[in-house]
Structure 1
Amino acid sequence: MRGDGILTTRILRPVLVDASTGALTDLRELPWYLKVLLGSQPLHFGDFGGMPLKIFWAAFDVLTVVVLGSGLYLWLTRHNPRKGRASAAR
């Protein structure tokens, strides 16, 4: 049901077993998108890179939050240049 290699140990393979005899009845391949999803799981949780990969992703997460926060700040504090000119002309 599981792969043998370092990259395939998390990729499952569905099997059908006859409950009365215990014999293997059918063996199927997973669709490509499920293989990709299961294969990327160790990368997402930092199983391969350990602490350096976790620190790397944490730094990118902080950078993403800073960019999002600054963009939201600029969007919320924007002003209409025409509105400022119209009130100054009065």
Structure 2
Amino acid sequence: MAGGWARDGAVQDQIDASVEDAVAEARSRLGAGESAAFCEECDRPIPEARRKAIPGVRLCINCQAEIEKQETASGGINRRGSKDSQLR
């Protein structure tokens, strides 16, 4: 049930669009091509299993985890919509 001027199903359409955007972003991050034998950050060998599992991988697990931790700490999407969360 939609409220106001929104049509029925508008909320679900918004949820679907958000999911599609997240999937598209995740797919854009996937590498392609031949994987590197050594990490581009620390120059340690990348295990064969990782190179086979993720095509085009360039970083070892530790360096990748550190980068992802920094990305998630730097920001995000405001889903609450409260004034307090918008003032940050």
Normalised TM-score (structure 1): 0.30
Name the one with the larger helix percent: 1
Greater RCO (Cα-Cα under 8 Å, separation 6 or more): 2
Computing the radius of gyration from Cα coordinates, the structure with the larger value is 1
Normalised TM-score (structure 2): 0.31
